[in-house]
Amino acid sequence: MDQMLFWLVPAASVLALCFAWYFHRQMMKESEGTPQMIKIAAAVRKGAMSYLKQQYKIVGWVFLGLVILFSVMAYGFGVQNSWVPIAFLTGGFFSGLAGFLGMKTATYASARTANAARNSLNAGLRIAFRSGAVMGLVVVGLGLLDISFWYLLLNAVIPVDVMTPTHKLCIITTTMLTFGMGASTQALFARVGGGIYTKAADVGADLVGKVEAGIPEDDPRNPATIADNVGDNVGDVAGMGADLYESYCGSILATAALGAAAFIHSGDTMMQFKAVIAPMLIAAVGIILSIIGIFSVRTKENATMKDLLGSLAFGTNLSSVLIVAATFFILWLLRLDNWMWISCSVVVGLIVGIIIGRSTEYYTSQSYRPTRKLSESGKTGPATVIISGIGLGMLSTAIPVIAVVVGIIASYLFASGFDFSNVGLGLYGIGIAAVGMLSTLGITLATDAYGPIADNAGGNAEMSALGEEVRKRTDALDSLGNTTAATGKGFAIGSAALTGLALLASYIEEIRIGLTRLGTTDLFVGGETISVQDATFFDFMHHYDVTLMNPKVLSGMFLGSMMAFLFCGLTMNAVGRAAAHMVDEVRRQFREIKGILTGQAEPDYERCVAISTKGAQREMVLPSLIAIVAPIITGLVFGVPGVLGLLIGGLSSGFVLAIFMANAGGAWDNAKKYVEEGNFGGKGSEVHKATVVGDTVGDPFKDTSGPSLNILIKLMSMVAIVMAGLTVAWSLF
Residue 447 has pLDDT above 90, yes or no: no
The pLDDT of residue 450 = 84
CB 402 within 8 A of CB 219: no
∠ at Cα 187 (656, 87), nearest 5°?
A: 120
Note the pLDDT tens digit of each residue in 346-391. 999 888 988 888 898 899 888 899 999 999 999 999 999 999 999 9
Note the pLDDT tens digit of each residue in 452-496. 898 889 888 888 888 888 888 887 887 777 666 666 666 677 888
Residue 217 has pLDDT above 80, yes or no: no
Q: Which region among 160-174, 239-253, 562-576, 668-682 has the lowest average model confidence (pLDDT)?
A: 160-174
Please tell me the pTM assigned to this model.
Answer: 0.91
Q: Where are the beta strands (DSSP E) in 475-581?
A: 522-525, 528-531
Cα 450 to Cα 369: distance, rounded to the nearest angstrom: 25
Note the pLDDT tens digit of each residue in 119-137. 888 888 889 888 999 999 9
Note the pLDDT tens digit of each residue in 99-118. 899 899 999 999 999 999 88
The pLDDT of residue 304 = 65
Residues present in the chain in total:
733
The pLDDT of residue 525 = 81
Residue 302 has pLDDT above 90, yes or no: no
Q: Closest Cα to residue 389, out of 699, 98, 153, 638?
A: 699
Cα 385 to Cα 676: distance, rounded to the nearest angstrom: 15
The pLDDT of residue 235 = 83
Give me the phi and psi of 525, to 5 degrees please.
-125, 115
Cα 721 to Cα 511: distance, rounded to the nearest angstrom: 8
Cα-based distances in Å from 540 to 376, 523, 529, 531: 55, 8, 12, 11
- pLDDT tier at 303, thresholds 50, 70, 90: low
DSSP state of 77: S
The pLDDT of residue 443 = 86
Q: Closest Cα to residue 289, out of 170, 180, 137, 150?
A: 137
Note the pLDDT tens digit of each residue in 379-438. 999 999 999 999 999 999 999 999 999 999 999 999 998 988 888 899 999 999 999 888
- Residue 677: Cβ-neighbour burial (10 angstroms; 0-12, 13-18, 19+): middle
Q: What is the amino acid identity at position 336?
A: L
Q: In angstroms, how far is CA 428 from the centroid of its own chain?
A: 22
The pLDDT of residue 463 = 86
Residue 569 has pLDDT above 80, yes or no: yes
CB 552 within 8 A of CB 646: no
What is the Cα Rg of the chain in Å? 25
Note the pLDDT tens digit of each residue in 495-505. 888 888 889 88
pLDDT (average), residues 629-636: 96
Please list the alpha-helical segments (H only) found in 7-83. 8-28, 35-71
**H/E/C letters for each residue in 9-21?**
HHHHHHHHHHHHH
Which of the given ranges, 300-304, 316-320, 626-630, has the highest pLDDT on average? Answer: 626-630
- pLDDT tier at 605, thresholds 50, 70, 90: confident
Note the pLDDT tens digit of each residue in 524-560. 887 788 888 888 888 899 999 999 899 999 999 999 9
Average pLDDT, the chain: 89
The pLDDT of residue 486 = 62
The pLDDT of residue 618 = 85
Indicate the domain borders of the chain. Answer: 2-730
Q: What percent of the chain has pLDDT over 90?
A: 47
Cα 281 to Cα 292: distance, rounded to the nearest angstrom: 17
pLDDT (average), residues 167-186: 90
